[in-house]
Structure 1
Amino acid sequence: MFSKEIYTQRRRALKSKMDKGIGLFMGNREAPCNYNDNTYHFRQDSSFLYFFGLDEPDLAAVIDFDTGKEILFGDDVSLDAVVWTGPLPKMQEKAEKVGVVHTSPRNTLSGFIQKEQQKGRTIHFLPPYRSDNKIELMDMLGIHPKEQKEKASEQLIRAIVGLRMIKQPEEIAQLDKACDLGYAMHYTAMKMAKPGMVEQELAGIMEGIAISGGYTPSFPIILTQNGEVMHGHSHHQILEEGRLLLIDAGAELQSHYCSDFTRTLPVGGTFRGMALDLYNLVLQANNHCISMCAPGVSFKEVHLTAARIITEGLKDLGLMKGDTEEAVAAGAHAAFFPTGLGHNMGLDVHDMEDLGEQFVGYDHTVSRSTQFGLKSLRMARKLEAGNVMTVEPGFYVIPTLLELWKKDGHNAAFINFEKCKPLYKFGGIRIEDDLLVTKEGHRLLGSKRLPVTPEEIGEVMKG
């Protein structure tokens, strides 16, 4: 938790972007796992955290953009609850910690909102993603859950995105810490990965490091020898000598700032043959794209540069053919690189994805593509100093996709389908780093870069 001055300043900055109406901020509630008292790990809404800082359930807040008045809605702990929770600060004390003067019981929120709505005032709310908040919004505003995303306040969304996109010094310090913890997770996995281990053993070790050093992994750990499965959360396989192990994982701190790294490891410690060539190709794309990141640079162009590098390299290896520019324009590279190059990162590992990627990664200068592969790019707009980004090019052999394209003749002018067949059990390679865009260009987050060259990785794995 930061100082109350930081939260006060954030709300002041938001007020300067909003002219009138009521801003409604719904905190999250506990979510039952299999019965009410056995809940999932609590996670507060990130925008609520950003402006109000209180990391506990059953809170909400409003900002009156006409008068500047702020109210925090929540309840003091009851005598019965004290038995289970121990003594907790009263609502007024909590409010004072974040610079809010006024508080009100949680059950008065609906009446307050409805009263303001009856006056003809605009209620600015964010698109909800939790079912309980959707139901409460329906009760308060009379908007069906299916319509809430569409009717959320675009003005409020754009104002918040404008603030949260540019990380401040206190946020950058937390992101550096999260990246240091992510480093420890990945370095330990590199050190311990041996043939004969079960993937789950490594995943459990990494999760333990995240919990012991911070709060939790920033998302469910991806650790798999089937690297062509982008979000492979099954960890049941035994590590086999010579196979590639893709590990995509990060840490989330108590402050909820995140990290997100990917490394691809050769089980046994040595990249060989085609695996070495393809790994070096992805590493070339990763390093070059990182070097491009600077204020004013279109991240879409950085993504397309990765596509060109990968296409050119695959032509050299005999997997693709034809003119590189034409192949990329046709989206042929997406047979092997179907993802976006990266995403914003902060209080969410995919920062502000709940607010809508059309507002976070796109603006009036660039619209989202409908082309396979390119449409998955989460961030396309020009970079600004203070942006925090991941850069994560990859190479994936997805037999089902290749067979479908081959059958349809899709991009046959650019892909040597028959030469891809020997790689059908290859898996995938991804290399991901986290960076801060600075006034001068960029810097990688964290104290030092994770081992990334084949030689560095081999040294750690065999050491």
Structure 2
Amino acid sequence: MEIYAERRARFLQQLGGAAAVIPAAPLVTHHADCEYPFRQDSDFWYLTGFDEPDAVALFLPHREDAPFVLFVHPKDPTAEVWHGVRCGTEGAVERFGAAVAHPLAELAERLPHYLEGAEGIAFRVGRHPAVEPLVLKAWAQQLDRAPRRGSAALGLVAPCPILHALRLRKGPEELERLREAARISAEAHELARQVTRPGLNERQVQAVIEQHFLEQGARGPAYGSIVAGGDNACVLHYTANNARLRDGDLLLIDAGCSLSDYYNGDITRTFPVNGRFSAEQRELYALVLAAQEAAVATVAPGVTAEAVHLAAVRVLVEGLIGLGLLSGSVDGVVEQVAYRHLYMHRTGHWLGLDVHDVGAYRLGEHPVELEPGMVLTVEPGLYVSDRLPVPEGQPAIEERWKGIGIRIEDDVAVSDRGHDVLTAAALKSLAAMER
């Protein structure tokens, strides 16, 4: 728990005189009286490591006696028979480092007292309907009393800029957990390629992947696994995973595990179902691989995520012009974004406690520069289909290219030396994709 205490200390310091109210996630109904498996709010987890629903954490830099307060469900033998052991208020103090802990039912009564004396209130509005009215009521009471007392919290601000800037830069312990998630995820991709053959259902390959996640101690998939054969790969967020794999098609798999402490892997690999590329598949795969390797090579301190994206785009555009799928100059096509019918997404995103992790990509007009400790995915692709219109002035797509969808994605940590590919154990060379 020392790691969480260190994070809280940094957060409290940056809050200045504001008090922060950070709620945990609630349980979410799946259907009738059945709920989805609980998934803790990432901001709450980052600061507390407490994995129960509905709790509320207060961070009070103006209270030296109680800078960290938790409101939690109390111990209740009857509830625990049905839903599992609770930590309770004593455990919140002894195990999770709260200076004080109270039953959740006392939040409405006690919150105004704890917020008294704060210069501001840091709370994310619009996301926590059970807690938000209590925060607003406590603040309103302060404002009502301000003419007599001469003080009140001056404003309601979002804690996100502070907290998400902290989360964007991973500590050594976080990098180790991301490395572990990458290891398990890479092993699953290797297993999936070994079992894939024509006639299998996409779901059977999904089962192999997710079984490995669970066998290795992960919570399960970090997101809905994408197992997309043939033209299904041209649907970016395809998750039906119920089609039969056909001889001659490619199989795109985008899957990663989530660990017990919520750190995630996120890998995409694409390979021929029958073990051999067709001529068109080979041309496009080699092009996406070259673009991905060029983008990965760009990752280094001081570089921007925008520069990583453009490195991939320029390689893709140059290659597509050479294949006759685009026409014009590289600079002209890039400037006009005339490739968007074939490559319509960005080349990566931050990775951490969330798969699409928090953190700004731009500060106003200025792209954020990469720093050691940041982790991002690098995932260019090509998706050749009739789903999007061909831009004016660009060539019609020949039938031989249609239905080919390819994406190659790695998880890359920025280091002092440049970068570290966490998912390198998942092979991606042309030779490795064939058998």
Question: What is the TM-score of this pair, normalised by structure 2?
Answer: 0.90
- Count of residue pairs brought into register by the alignment: 414
Distance 1:335 1:450, change over 3 A: same
| Aligned-pair Cα RMSD in Å | 2.1
* Residue aligning to 2:9: 12
SS at match of 1:246: strand
CA offsets 1:35-78 (integer angstroms, 9 cap, x no match): 33x21010000011100001121211101122352100012221
* Residue aligning to 1:146: none
Alignment of 1:322-337 (within 5 A): 322-337=328-343
Q: In the alignment, is the contact (CA less than 8 A) between 2:186 and 2:426 conserved in 1?
A: yes
Alignment of 1:225-236 (within 5 A): 225=229, 226-236=232-242
Give distance in 1, aligned partners of 2:133 and 2:276: 57
List alignment gaps of at least 5 residues for structure 2.
Answer: 139-154
* Residue aligning to 1:186: 189
The amino acid across from 1:453 in the alignment is S
Distance 1:305 1:87, change over 3 A: closer
* Residue aligning to 1:393: 380
List alignment gaps of at least 5 residues for structure 1.
Answer: 144-150, 353-358, 367-379
Larger deviation: 425-434 or 283-292?
425-434
* Residue aligning to 1:318: 324
SS at match of 1:265: strand
* Residue aligning to 2:146: none
Give distance in 1, aligned partners of 2:26 and 2:291: 42
Of 160, 174, 178, the residue aligned with 2:177 is 174
Distance 1:210 1:88, change over 3 A: same
Of 401, 416, 433, the residue aligned with 2:395 is 416
* Residue aligning to 1:382: 369
Q: 1:262 deviation in Å?
A: 0.1
The amino acid across from 1:166 in the alignment is R
Give distance in 1, aligned partners of 2:157 and 2:378: 31
Question: What is the TM-score of this pair, normalised by structure 1?
Answer: 0.85
The amino acid across from 2:29 in the alignment is P
Larger deviation: 176-185 or 78-87?
78-87
Give distance in 1, aligned partners of 2:25 and 2:365: 34
CA offsets 1:175-197 (integer angstroms, 9 cap, x no match): 11101110121111101111000
Give distance in 2, aligned partners of 1:421 and 1:152: 57
CA offsets 1:329-358 (integer angstroms, 9 cap, x no match): 111122211101000001111112xxxxxx
CA offsets 1:224-245 (integer angstroms, 9 cap, x no match): 1211100000112110011111
* Residue aligning to 1:255: 261
* Residue aligning to 2:421: 444
SS at match of 1:25: strand
Distance 1:59 1:440, change over 3 A: same
CA offsets 1:231-289 (integer angstroms, 9 cap, x no match): 00011211001111111010000011000000011110111211101000000011111
Q: In the alignment, is the contact (CA less than 8 A) between 2:18 and 2:118 conserved in 1?
A: no
CA offsets 1:79-105 (integer angstroms, 9 cap, x no match): 312333465443222333232221011
Give distance in 1, aligned partners of 2:273 and 2:156: 48
CA offsets 1:363-403 (integer angstroms, 9 cap, x no match): 1343xxxxxxxxxxxxx521111000100000112313125
Q: Percent of aligned positions with the same letter in both sequences?
A: 30
Q: In the alignment, is the contact (CA less than 8 A) between 1:270 and 1:454 conserved in 2?
A: no
The amino acid across from 1:56 in the alignment is E
Larger deviation: 206-215 or 222-231?
206-215
Q: 1:114 deviation in Å?
A: 4.2
Q: Does 1:364 align with 2:364?
A: yes
SS at match of 1:61: strand
Q: Which has the higher helix share?
A: 1
Q: 1:360 deviation in Å?
A: 2.1
Alignment of 1:145-184 (within 5 A): 153-154=157-158, 156-184=159-187
Of 33, 52, 72, the residue aligned with 1:74 is 72
Distance 1:35 1:121, change over 3 A: farther
Q: 1:139 deviation in Å?
A: 5.0
* Residue aligning to 1:48: 44
* Residue aligning to 2:411: 434
The amino acid across from 1:362 in the alignment is R
